[in-house]
Amino acid sequence: MLKEKLFFRSDDDTDFMPIIPINENDSEQDKNLVIPDTLPILPLRNTVLFPGVVLPITVGRDKSIKAVNDAYKLDKLIGVLAQKDANIEEPEPKDLCNIGTVAKIVKLIKMPDGGTTIIIQGKKRFEMQEMISDDPYFKASISLFADDEIPVSEDFNAYISSIKDLAAQIIQLSPNLPTEASIILKNIENPSFLINFVSSNLNSELTEKQSLLEINDIHQRAERLIFILQRELQFAELKDKVTNKTRTEIDKQQRDYFLQQQLKSIKDELGGDSNEREITDMKKKAEAKKWPEAAKALFKNGVAKLERMHPTTPDYSVVYNHLDLMLDLPWLDYTADNYDLKNAKKVLDADHYGMGKIKTRILEYLAVLKLKGDMKSPILCFLGPPGIGKTSLGRSIAHAIGRKYVRVSLGGLHDESEIRGHRKTYIGAMPGRIVQNIRKCKSSNPVMILDEIDKIGSDFRGDPSSALLEVLDPEQNHTFYDNYLELEYDLSKVLFIATANNLQNIQPALRDRLEIIDLSGYAVEEKVEIAKRHLLPKQKEAHGLNKVNFKINDKVLEKIIEQHTRESGVRELDRQLASIMRYQAKELATKNKVKSTVTSADVEKILGQSRYSNEIYKTANMPGVAVGLAWTYVGGDILFIETILGDGKGDLKLTGNLGNVMKESATTALSYLQANAKKLGVDPEDFAKKNIHIHVPEGAVPKDGPSAGITMLTSLTSAFTGRKVKPFLAMTGEITLRGQVLPVGGIKEKILAAKRAGLKEIILCWQNEKDINEIDGNFIKGLQFHYVKTMQQVVDLALV
């Protein structure tokens, strides 16, 4: 803001306030005033005394008080000289101006605080000849200037009139000066006093006032005063113009700004502004922060911008939040990895039963880190059915290697800004979830679980899986760019672990970046161990039964698993065990005791009759019914293929909510059977006389895939030949028109499903033998496998 300049002194300036004497013609009386050649000297700061002008002065220096007291006791006359530099507390003779004014002390007032206030009136100008003494106060010999002779000329009268007019205009343009001041000025008749009075009230530098006092010729003094007044008038007009223009344009925001400035001044008086303290705290944090040079430079620019902003402006919070995020991010802060491989294996084994492939992969990663000291983290993807512990395994890995753990749920995500962040200029903008979780865990090398990566949405609102391409590429993620952060962040040390149920739902480019580790479902034996080691202790604690001793033996657990659950994981088993614990808790609360062992009868009482039974596979099936093995995203399952023949024209009908691939398998099986009818013992003429209906039960469940090919052909052959399919036999494999059997996937899940269902024999493609060899022999005990290459072998094995 422009420094306010006024013609007259405002009421705030209370050090010196000129007073108009009652009688301006005192100069007539002053002619008889006897002024000695030697006078005590009173140095004045910040002002110049002119003849005729009355000033109240507060005297504070000891020397000045003594000089005033001595002068008041004698003739009340004292020499007043202005200091050249107002900042000097104890002036010396060289610090005083040579020309000053003889003053008469009109009144001396002793103040209650011990100070002295005097009212003095200027009498005559003088020049200091020599400083006689400076102790106890200044005393100097002086020579007086002659009184001003008033010129009798039109020019001088015009000067005096111009001075009055200019002074009146300045008073009118200054809103803080009373209008009565212009009336007083018009009534001053003595030209010499008018010049002195106006000069005394100029809001000019002290040197300019002193120069006016030093001009001997009154004509020249008037001319110089007019020049100064014209300059002051121009400034007053300009200020008035700016003020009026601003007043018309000012709006609420500007008004608030001025009020906030005043509030800031008040806060400063009360001990500083909180915003300044916040910025100072930020700077202190930044000094101790370990971060890249680019981040340091961006932070400095942001702080500089914040200091120039007012806290009420909308952008202030945007910049502040951005800087706060930069300070919260760990940048170059890493947790130390625990390279003790034996301990890591022990932790992994304690937390999860089985899963040897994943545990081996993690130990390999740790081994390389231990030897090399630094490597890009792999991007792992745990693929498997729900409830087998994919997510909890991530937490276990973090615990084993001594890293922080964070989980990002990607299920249903449809906005790429959730990954990469919003531009910070938007209202409600936030960094992406990756950066948010890094900020939360305070480490730049956590284990980050990207949960349900196969369930990311993709529509008109965005494609987050495409944004993940940068995050999950070890060659790119060391310069991951978040739109909110507006800076590259190194994610190369983060161990990303994605989890998925269905690989087909992950887009190919993203799938290519993932190291897929298949997690198959659990066998009954594995579920028994998991229940004993993890589920039972957890449910006991959850139901307040920690200190109650009762047992559930392996046979009972097997009954629960086989007759009350049918899943790849253990979630349903966990719920069934929770039901048993609730029953036990009720028994304890009502009877104060529980049975020491939970028996099969107790299970039936608590959980009810068996929900699943293997009896269906033991009944003698009619010809045309075969058992197939299927893979679903929740694990393996068994399905029936039913074929029935009726009189007709050889039409083929398919029902059971089948997909295109499965329909094509049925067509292929029929074509092969027609081409090889005699070889398989079928009358070729039957195909023209019989309508064929193939149905797959559970019609509400969609089914698709090529793996039911050999089951379809077996069912068709059984129906046409009248030969039954062996009981307790299942099969899986794709067929060709040439009669070959091709391998299929999901073998472990399918085999475990067959084992759960109580089947005894399984027919597979010979190329799937390697998949069987990977399964723990204990889990497939009691199963007999038949490996085939052609359909003829399948028919020979399957039909009685």
Residues 176 and 79 sit within 8 Å (Cβ to Cβ): no
pLDDT surpasses 50 at 769: yes
pLDDT at 787 over 90: yes
> Phi first, then psi: what are they for 353, rounded to 5°?
-90, 135
Give every CB contact of residue 273 below 8 A, 6+ residues apart in sequence: 264, 267
**pLDDT for the residue numbered 668:** 92
Instruction: Indicate the pLDDT class of residue 27, thresholds 50, 70 and 90.
Output: low
Angle subtended at Cα 345 by Cα 374 and Cα 531, rounded to the nearest 5 degrees: 140
Average the pLDDT over 634-646 and give the result: 83
In the predicted model, is pLDDT for residue 748 greater than 80? yes
- Other Cβ atoms within 10 Å of 1 Cβ, number: 5
Q: Residue 88: pLDDT above 50?
A: yes
Please measure the distance between the N-terminal and C-terminal CA atoms of the chain and give it in whole angstroms. Answer: 106
Q: What is the pLDDT of residue 247?
A: 66
* Per-residue model confidence (pLDDT) at position 249: 63
Q: Can you tell me whether residue 467 is helix, strand or coil?
A: helix
Spatial contact of 408 and 448, defined as CB atoms under 8 Å apart: yes
Residues with a catalytic annotation lie at 707, 750
8 pLDDT above the threshold of 50: no
pLDDT greater than 70 at residue 29: no
Tally the C-alpha atoms within 13 A of residue 34's C-alpha that lie toward its C-beta.
Answer: 3
By CB atoms closer than 10 A (0-12, 13-18, 19+), residue 53 is: buried
CB 182, CB 171: distance < 8 Å: yes
Q: Can you name the residues that pair with 102 across neighbouring β-strands?
A: 79, 124
DSSP H helix total and E strand total for the chain: 30, 22
- Residue among 178, 172, 171, 165 nearest 203 (CA): 171
pLDDT of residue 568: 78
If one compares 428 and 537, the residue with the highest pLDDT of the two is 537
Model confidence pLDDT, tens digit, residues 178-188? 777 777 777 88
* Per-residue pLDDT, 272: 55
pLDDT tens-place string over residues 289-343: 888 888 888 888 888 888 888 777 788 888 888 888 888 889 888 888 887 888 8
**Rounded CA separation 654/657 (Å):** 9
Tell me which of 84-98, 166-180, 240-254, 304-318 is least confident: 240-254
Q: Tell me, what's the pLDDT at 11?
A: 35
pLDDT for 13 beyond 50:
no
Given pLDDT bands bounded at 50, 70 and 90, which one contains residue 31?
A: low
Look at residue 762 and tell me whether its pLDDT is greater than 90.
yes
Cβ distance 570 to 635 under 8 Å?
Answer: no
What pLDDT is stored for residue 602 in this prediction? 86
> What proportion of the chain, given as a percentage, has pLDDT over 90?
9
Mean pLDDT of the residues in the chain? 83
pLDDT beyond 60 at 2: no
**What pLDDT was estimated at residue 588?**
87
Read off the pLDDT of residues 688-736 as tens digits, 9 standing for 90 and up. Answer: 888 999 998 877 778 788 888 999 999 999 888 888 888 888 999 999 9
pLDDT value of position 529: 87
Does residue 177 have a pLDDT over 80?
A: no
Assigned token pair, 627: 């058992």
Residue 604 or 251, more confident: 604
Stretch (H or E) spanning 510:
helix 508-512
Return the pLDDT at 731.
Answer: 92
Please report which confidence band the pLDDT of residue 742 belongs to, taking 50, 70 and 90 as the band edges: very high
The predicted structure's pLDDT at residue 28: 56
The total number of residues shown for the chain amounts to 800
* pTM, entire model: 0.59
Whole-number pLDDT of residue 233? 85
pLDDT higher at 748 or 577: 577
pLDDT of residue 733: 92
Which uninterrupted H or E stretch holds 284?
Answer: helix 274-287
Query: What is the 3-class SS of 56-76, one letter each residue?
Result: EEEECCHHHHHHHHHHHHCCC
pLDDT at 57 over 70: yes
Is pLDDT at 256 greater than 50 in this prediction?
Answer: yes
**Residue pLDDT, tens place only, 488-530:** 888 888 888 999 988 888 888 888 888 888 887 777 788 888 8
Band of pLDDT at residue 250, cut at 50, 70 and 90: low
Distance from chain centroid for Cα 134: 70
Q: 24, exposed or middle or buried, with CB in 10 Å at 0-12, 13-18, 19+?
A: middle
* Res. 578 pLDDT band, cuts 50 70 90: very high
Lowest mean pLDDT among 266-280, 340-354, 356-370, 705-719: 266-280
pLDDT beyond 60 at 455:
yes
What is the predicted pLDDT for the residue at 253? 66
What is the band of 5 on the pLDDT scale with cuts at 50, 70, 90? very low
Tell me which residue has tokens 């994981």: 569
Question: Greater confidence, 74 or 459?
Answer: 74
Q: What pLDDT sits at residue 24?
A: 54
Q: Which tokens hold the place of 599? A: 């028996």
Within 349-489, strands assigned E span 379-383, 405-409, 447-451, 480-482, 487-489
Strands 761-765 and 635-647: unpaired
Q: What is the mean pLDDT of residues 599-607?
A: 86
